[in-house]
Amino acid sequence: MNKNPFTSAIQVIDEAVKIGDLNKELAEYIKKPEKIVEVNIPVRMDNGKLKTFKGFRIQHNNFRGPYKGGLRFHPETNLDEVKALATWMSMKCAVVDIPYGGGKGGIEVDVKELSEKELEKLTRSFARQVYNFVGPKIDIPAPDVNTNPKIIDWFYDEYSKIVGKKTPAVVTGKSIKNGGSLGRDTATARGAQIVLNQLIKKYKFPIETVAIQGFGNAGENIAKLLYKQGLKIIAISDSSGAIYDPSGIDPNKISGLKKKFGRIANIPNVKIISNEKMIQLDVDLLALAALENVITEKNAKQINCKVILELANGPTTPEADKIIGKKNQDPARYTYKRRWSYRQLFRMVTKFETKQLECG
């Protein structure tokens, strides 16, 4: 059974408080979301039957500015996952010092089982359920797992209808024609690429072979960017399995084949291995670009890469971090997102202490 991601988020806060000797009262406050919105979303399906989906919007902290964070559609989305994601958003906004707080939304749904018409109905129904809780100065949703500019456009359009005026600032990640930003689709991957290249420069060791876990927006784009940079991609995965070829893979070709065949495991004339085997490959770089809890205490000892590059939220649990750290103490061999999380929390708590909470 996968570890509760919200438990992992709390563990990081506890460890940061201990290491940094932070204000424990403020840390306790940060552990708890300020607001939890849980809704039932009715959708009239194509067959005429009414189906209800569970949806969430978690508003973790708005001390630094409006809540900000993505909206994911996934069959395993649940309250604790979204609480963890919202908490991490607060930390990420704090560490880069932008005037936003942390929020996150999700709907428990398998988008592969919905027609486009049903998906649009679901999105618009969700917008109607949560419109009172979002807005340009309140909470600003964005794309996440299994959501894209088209879905965000539907949300924006429905919200605008409800409030009686066009309100493009209610969301980010819109299509370009509706005021979206150029480069938004590759932003996560480009950020990861910049971090990786700084790491290579600092520790002066070569990165040649790469495995990419996840082939959604973040995974597909980081694969293409690193391939263009000259690195050898030897494995690419999605939820169905992984393509493995030690001689190298062109992610641009895989992108087209996945669109044609639906998922990686369906692509003919390639070697398919399991996701578990893929993350254990002996490669220089393992990029984690899917969901949380990929590397845990159960498989951490089998990880053989030199560098773990995390594009996803919480793909490595705190327990796994410790195991990997003990496995090899050379700081040039392993780097941990968790250490950045400490710094994120330091900055967040410092902001609280600088401008103290107004308590009644």
- Secondary element (H or E) of residue 85: helix 79-95
347 contacts 94 by C-beta, under 8 angstroms: yes
324 contacts 334 by C-beta, under 8 angstroms: yes
Closest Cα partner for 105 from 178, 41, 162? 41
Residue 338: predicted pLDDT: 41
Question: Is 104 noted as a catalytic residue in this protein?
Answer: yes
132 CB contacts (<8 Å, ≥6 apart)? none
152 CB contacts (<8 Å, ≥6 apart)? 71, 141, 142, 143, 171, 172, 173, 174, 175
Residue 339: predicted pLDDT: 44
Cα–Cα distance measured from residue 220 to residue 236, given in angstroms and rounded to the nearest whole number: 9
Residue 106, judged by CB atoms within 10 A of its CB (0-12, 13-18, 19+), counts as: buried
What domains can you pick out in the chain, each with its CATH number?
33-181 (3.40.50.10860), 186-344 (3.40.50.720)
Cα–Cα distance measured from residue 248 to residue 227, given in angstroms and rounded to the nearest whole number: 10
Beta bridge partners of 100: none
DSSP string, 123-135: HHHHHHHHGGG-B
Cα–Cα distance measured from residue 206 to residue 210, given in angstroms and rounded to the nearest whole number: 12
327 contacts 304 by C-beta, under 8 angstroms: no
216 CB contacts (<8 Å, ≥6 apart)? 145, 146, 238, 289, 290
Query: Rounded to 5 degrees, what are φ and ψ at 61?
Result: -160, 130
Q: pLDDT tens string for the chain (360 positions)? A: 467 889 988 988 888 788 777 778 888 888 999 999 999 999 999 999 999 999 999 999 998 899 999 999 999 999 999 999 999 999 888 888 889 999 999 999 999 999 999 999 999 999 999 999 999 999 999 999 899 999 999 999 999 999 999 999 999 999 999 999 999 889 889 989 998 898 888 877 788 999 999 998 899 999 999 999 999 999 999 988 999 999 999 999 999 999 899 889 899 999 999 999 999 999 999 999 988 888 888 988 898 888 889 888 888 888 888 888 776 554 434 443 444 444 445 555 545 444 444 444
- From edge to edge, which strands make up the β-sheet containing 209-213? 272-273, 241-244, 232-238, 209-213, 285-288, 307-310
Tell me which residue has tokens 């990686």. Answer: 264
Single-letter amino acid code for the residue at 38 = E
Taking CA atoms, 118 is separated from 22, 112, 160, in Å, by: 48, 11, 20
Choice among 68, 104, 121, 224 that is catalytic: 104
- Secondary element (H or E) of residue 70: strand 67-74
